[in-house]
Structure 1
Amino acid sequence: MLNNDRLLVQILLLLLLGACLWVLAPFASALFWAAVLAFASWPLMRLLTRWLNGNATLAATALTFVWMVLVAVPLVWLGFNIADQIREANMLLHSLQVEGLPPPPDWLGDVPLIGDNLLAFWDTVDEQGTALFASVRPYIGQVGNWLLMRSARIGAGMLELALSLVLVFFFYRDGPKLAAFVHSLLDRLIGSRADHYLELVAGTVQRVVNGVIGTAAAQAVLAYIGFSIAGIPGALVLGLLTFAFSFLMVPPLVWGPSVAWLIWQGEYGMAIFLGIWGMFVISGVDNVLKPYLISRGGNLPLVVVLLGVFGGVLAFGFMGLFLGPTLLAVAYSLLGDWVTKEVPEVTAPEKLPGKGLE
């Protein structure tokens, strides 16, 4: 009867745990980002707490306010700049609809084999501009609906980001208690190896955070340098956009249209320069710097890190950038521990068989 009661208690505890996870599921992303941000910046929290004579609540409040300023202000400023760019794009479309296309560039007719056809197509579009805009207007509406849906998702992401900035305060304030709870839980589950796996997960997450943020910052700086040399207007805004798109691993969505704009302006030399700079410097640094920063200081093979980064993104989305390497690191360490368990040593005999027959 005692065993049945214990089994019933275990089932009830599992049901309670499942209900708790169900309640927290809508906030999973915000909790995840708050935990990653708090963990990555924990040295700052520890230093600030020491400066404030051990007042963890005040240190958590100050650091949370700093993150809100560093994140919210650039996002608002970037939103206003994007709104200005959208307004200019609408004015350009309106002028094209009313005044037609500008004269074709001189190089268009010199394109081998198809230069005359391109000039004829340019003239046709210029002459039938009104009819063309009328024919593509339904598709513009579909594109608008698609952008509206994506804007709603971006808005939801901004709400999650704001919630994570609120939750990070509690991770800062109660971080030692949470760490002690996780340690005691792992100690009950896996015993003396709890410290090893906590250090493994902590080190992996720290290296991934450093690799992602460091690579994004490097790409943003390099992009700003390239845009400034090429004379692209709004180089600082485009640099910040490169920083954001670097997290999604698609910086070409920023420098690619810039190359197209330079070609449209007839700046072919600068377009070639920016294309080469973007392909081999801005995007190329991601293939070198990120794996180096993530694998530095760990005992993980580089191929495990790369598979964890790219496979995690494909499996879990952007959160997989952190989950993938962490899961593979823990699995790799578990397999390593299992393989290197105590293996009975084979002692070599003093006299090999057949030696005495010689």
Structure 2
Amino acid sequence: MLNNDRLLVQILLLGLLGASLWVLAPFWGALFWAAVLAFASWPVMRFMTHLLRGREALAAAILTFCWFVLVAVPLGFLGFNLADHVREAVTLVKSLQLTGLPPAPDWLASIPLAGDWMIRAWNTVDEQGAQLFATLQPYLGQIGNWLLGRSARIGSNVLELGLSLILLFFFYRDGPRLAAFAESLLERLIDERAEHYRDLIAGTVQRVVNGVIGTAVAQAVLAYIGFLIAGIPGALLLGVLTFGFSLIMVPPLIWGPAVAWLAWQGSVGMAIFLGAWGVLIISGVDNILKPYLISRGGNLPLVVVLLGVFGGILAFGFMGLFLGPTLLAVAYNLLTDWVAGKPVAGPPAPSVIVPGDSALTTPTPTEKQI
């Protein structure tokens, strides 16, 4: 009877756990990003807490406000204004359909080899503009709808980011207690190997964070150098913006408009240089430096890191940049421990013998004979 009662309690506990996970399902993304941001900036949190003489809540509030200013405000501006820019682009296309193209710029003819051909193509499009735009109109509508959908998705992601920053305050404030709970949970699950896998997960996430931030710094410096060489005004500000957009893996949103501005100003050579610099150097360094920084200092083979980074991004989106390497790191270590004969979990805890409880006591040999 007692065993049946225990089984019923276990079933009820599993059902309660499943229901709790179901309730939290809409917030998994926000919880994940709050945890990653708190883990990445925890040294700053400790420094702020020491500076404020142990006032954890005040330090958490200050750091959360800084994250709002540095991340949420620029992304919110980008997300909620993209739809307006798409509508402006659609309006511009419609006006060009009615009035035709403006006169070709003078610098277009100075392009070596292709200058004359581009001038003739410009004039041909201007003369046959109505027919051309009528042909392209269905495709332009599809592109506009796709961009509007992207902008709506960016807006929803910005709202999720805002929620994650609110949750970040509680991760900062209750960080030590949450870490102690996670460690006790690991010890309950895998006993003596808990410390090993705790350090493995923490080290993997830390290396991913270092790889993301280090790559963003490298791309910002390279972009700043390219802007200086090309003579772009405000090169330092654009370099800082490149750092911010590199964190979300879209640095072309900074150097791409700079290339278009150079071409419009007639600096065709510098536009070609900056475009090649952006594609080969600024964006190309991401494919080399980030996997190297993530694998540096760990015991994972580089191929596992590469599969974790790129496969995680394909499977989970930007969140997979952290999930992919962490999952593969844990799976790789579990397999190597199993092959080497190391225990994945410690030995089971000894049974507790309670006098008078027949379900918990082990019968003695004499009792068996009777």
- TM band (smaller chain): 0.7 to 0.9
- Tell me how far apart the structure 1 counterparts of residues 306 and 130 of structure 2 sit (CA, whole Å): 51
Kindly provide the amino acid, as one letter, of the partner of residue 209 in structure 1: V
Partner of 2:360: none
**Contact persistence 2:109–2:119 (CA under 8 A):** no
Partner of 1:100: 101
User: Is residue 276 of structure 1 aligned with residue 276 of structure 2?
Assistant: yes
Kindly provide the amino acid, as one letter, of the partner of residue 30 in structure 2: A
Partner of 2:146: 146
What is the total number of aligned residue pairs between the two structures?
A: 340
- Alignment RMSD, CA only? 3.2
**Contact persistence 2:45–2:172 (CA under 8 A):** yes
Q: 1:236 and 1:152, CA in 2 relative to 1: closer, same or farther beyond 3 A?
A: farther
SS at match of 2:285: helix
Matches within 5 A, 1:4-153: 4-75=4-75, 93=93, 94=95, 97-98=98-99, 100-103=101-104, 105-106=108-109, 110-111=113-114, 120-153=120-153
- Tell me how far apart the structure 2 counterparts of residues 252 and 279 of structure 1 sit (CA, whole Å): 8
Report how far residue 253 of structure 1 moved.
Answer: 5.9
**Contact persistence 1:81–1:237 (CA under 8 A):** no
Partner of 1:165: 165
Report how far residue 313 of structure 1 moved.
Answer: 0.9
**Contact persistence 1:309–1:321 (CA under 8 A):** yes
Report how far residue 240 of structure 1 moved.
Answer: 5.8
Report how far residue 296 of structure 1 moved.
Answer: 2.0
Uncovered stretches (5+) of structure 1, i.e. residues with no partner: 344-358
- Tell me how far apart the structure 1 counterparts of residues 88 and 149 of structure 2 sit (CA, whole Å): 22
- Tell me how far apart the structure 1 counterparts of residues 183 and 80 of structure 2 sit (CA, whole Å): 45
Once structures 1 and 2 are overlaid, which stretch shifts more, 255-264 or 149-158?
A: 255-264
**1:232-274 alpha-carbon deviations (Å, 9 max, x no partner):** 5675676566445534545456545654654565433213321
Report how far residue 13 of structure 1 moved.
Answer: 1.1
- Tell me how far apart the structure 2 counterparts of residues 108 and 70 of structure 1 sit (CA, whole Å): 41
Partner of 1:299: 299
Matches within 5 A, 1:169-180: 169-180=169-180
Matches within 5 A, 1:146-295: 146-232=146-232, 239=239, 242-243=242-243, 245-247=245-247, 249=249, 251-252=251-252, 255-256=255-256, 258-259=258-259, 262-263=262-263, 265-295=265-295
Partner of 2:363: none
Kindly provide the amino acid, as one letter, of the partner of residue 66 in structure 2: V
Q: TM-score with structure 2 length normalisation? A: 0.80
Uncovered stretches (5+) of structure 2, i.e. residues with no partner: 344-370
Q: 1:301 and 1:109, CA in 2 relative to 1: closer, same or farther beyond 3 A?
A: closer
- What's the % identity of the aligned pairs? 71
- Tell me how far apart the structure 2 counterparts of residues 58 and 274 of structure 1 sit (CA, whole Å): 45
- Tell me how far apart the structure 2 counterparts of residues 102 and 240 of structure 1 sit (CA, whole Å): 36
- Tell me how far apart the structure 1 counterparts of residues 281 and 185 of structure 2 sit (CA, whole Å): 46
- Tell me how far apart the structure 2 counterparts of residues 280 and 312 of structure 1 sit (CA, whole Å): 24
- Tell me how far apart the structure 1 counterparts of residues 265 and 64 of structure 2 sit (CA, whole Å): 45
